[in-house]
Amino acid sequence: MPKKKKDELEEKLVYKPKFIWNAVDAKKRKEIFGFAEDYKRFIGEVKTEREFVNRAREMAEKAGFVPMEKAKGKVGEKIYVINRNKSMALIVLGRRDIAEGSNIVVAHIDAPRIDLKPHPLYEDKETFLALLKTHYYGGIKKYQWVNIPLALHGMVYLKGGKTVDIVIGEDEKDPVLMLPDLLPHLARKVQGERKLFQGIEGEEMNLLIGSVPLKKDEEGEQIKLNILKILNDRYGITEKDLIGAELEVVPAEKPRDVGLDKGLIAAYGQDDRVCGYTTLRAILEIDRPEKTAIALLMDKEEIGSETNTGSKSSFIEYLYSQLISLEDGSFTPRDLYGAMTNAEVLSADVDAIMDPSFKQVHEPLNAAKASHGIVLTKYTGAGGKYSSNDAHAEFVGKILELFDENGVFWQAGELGKVDEGGGGTIAKFMAERNMDVVDCGPGLLSMHSPMEIASKADIWAAYRAYRVFFEKNH
Ligand code: MN
Ligand code: MN
């Protein structure tokens, strides 16, 4: 029949990404929702890079991973390396020499947030309030972070190498911190005439932390002193200790299902801990891969992958030199560059999915859609692909073939239409090491906001993609 012929031809020639919910059976659907519950628990508790590394180490040790110092170099051996408590590598040694190639999935575990200034605490005499001065981290729309409950997470150095971890605002009974916004009645001029992004300025992001004096009718800054006393009683810290501290202000909300059908998740920090978590889950489940599998969980992507815990750091070269030395005890620069040249990388980072209310920033044919699978982004950058990793046809082709052969749901996407804006990821820093790399992660709505939104189907698709890559990319 002519009609059937046309369908066959269409099937052969035309490509359309699949809507996952239409493509899976009831059993798979249950698996997707089950995976999402594990993910929600994790991302609701892990809100900083340090907390991620701590939790990942616990999970890795339970799964039989050992620190590099104890590694023997046997096939199938599971190893981890932690760099300054803020970035981490997990490795499963493959059957082949690392010189012949290795499979890396690299995600970042930092997220946009609000940091404290070195001298954060002050008492405002005119308003009888104590506040914290802040400095935002990463590309946020500052006005989104006001009037929501905020928690304080971090670490303070005390003396002689001793440190204390701080988490305030996560327990139901805990107080929270707030950035108060101006009432609309008085905001018409001072805020109404500003551009949206300047609605709240950096120096207006002053966090409420206190309002009760330590002693009544006393001179001095009694409200500030009260806060310092509370901090000292609880954590043993003084005002001076705050100077070098890493205290991160993050949304206090727990992850929530979105929609009556519960298909979406709203949570803080999904860029890029959704990739961090799915990469971690994938590497923990790998046994004796053909090629050595490496999960890199990196810090500082949101500020350009800088510092020694970011992806520009020689931590990655050092890791490769250690892995090469494990094989036969020797190591030359040629071995190092050879191994890196033959490495293949998925840069696991989120992309934008098409926003239903701002379609004009997307080009519909090339915009990623919710629940259509992991988004393969061949290039990012801005303008004429400036500052982008533009993945090679051979590598993209190979990865898509791998995904198709193993039932991974994927779609191609780009970060907005041409000249609309842009962004970058870790991909280009891996390409600088002569590795083959392509961006590949789930799409988000409300990216970089206090509650980012992802599809449960896409999260599951990302996990499947990374696992298939580790297991089957030869
Ligand atoms: Mn990211
Ligand atoms: Mn980001």
pLDDT in tens, 52-96: 999 999 999 999 999 999 999 999 999 999 999 999 999 999 999
Measured from the alpha carbon of residue 448, the closest ligand is: 2
How would you classify residue 157: left for phi > 0, otherwise alpha for psi between -120 and 50, otherwise beta? beta
Query: Does residue 127 fall inside a structural domain?
Result: yes
Looking at the structure, tell me whether residues 185 and 331 fall in a common domain: no
**Pairing label, strands 381-382, 422-423:** antiparallel
In a shared domain, residues 105 and 121: no
Separation in Å, CA 215 to CA 223, 398, 422: 9, 70, 53
Range of the domain at 231: 113-251
* CA nearest to 134, candidates 204, 229, 238: 204
DSSP, collapsed to helix, strand or coil, labels residue 428 as helix
Q: What tokens were used for 158? A: 């005390």
Residues 94 and 218 in one domain: no
Q: What is the distance in A from the centroid of ligand 2 to the CA of 428?
A: 15
In a domain, 257, yes or no: no
Q: What mean pLDDT is predicted for residues 265-276?
A: 98
Please state, as a whole number, how many other Cβ atoms lie within 10 Å of the Cβ of residue 337.
14
Residue 323 placed within a domain: yes
Report CA(24)–ligand 2 centroid distance (Å).
30
Ligand nearest 273 Cα, by number?
1
The answer to the question of residue 256 being in a domain is no
Q: Give 110 Cα–ligand 1 centroid separation in angstroms.
A: 8
Taking the centre of ligand 1 as the mean of its atom positions, its distance from the CA of residue 298, in whole angstroms, is: 11
Whole-angstrom distance, CA of residue 271 vs CA of residue 367: 18
What pLDDT score does 1 carry?
52
23 shares a domain with 135: no
**For the chain, how many structural domains are there in total?**
2
Instruction: Tell whether 390 is covered by a domain.
Output: yes
Q: For the purposes of burial, counting CB atoms within 10 Å of the CB of 164, is it exposed (0-12), middle (13-18) or buried (19 or more)? A: middle
CATH number, position 172? 2.30.250.10
Is 346 in the same domain as 444? Answer: yes
Together in a domain, 117 and 107: no
Same domain, 177 and 299: no
One domain, residues 426 and 364: yes
Give the pLDDT of residue 388: 87
Question: Of all residues in the chain, what percent are helix, strand and coil, respectively (each to 5)?
Answer: 35, 25, 40
Q: Which residue is listed with tokens 């250690």? A: 322
The dihedral through the CA atoms of 54, 110, 91, 467 has a sign that is: positive
Q: What is the DSSP letter of 180?
A: P
422 and 311 co-located in one domain = yes
Are 99 and 141 members of one domain? no
**386 against 250, higher pLDDT:** 250
Residues 192 and 305 in one domain: no
One domain for residues 199 and 333: no
For residue 246, tell me if it sits in a domain. Answer: yes
pTM of the model: 0.96
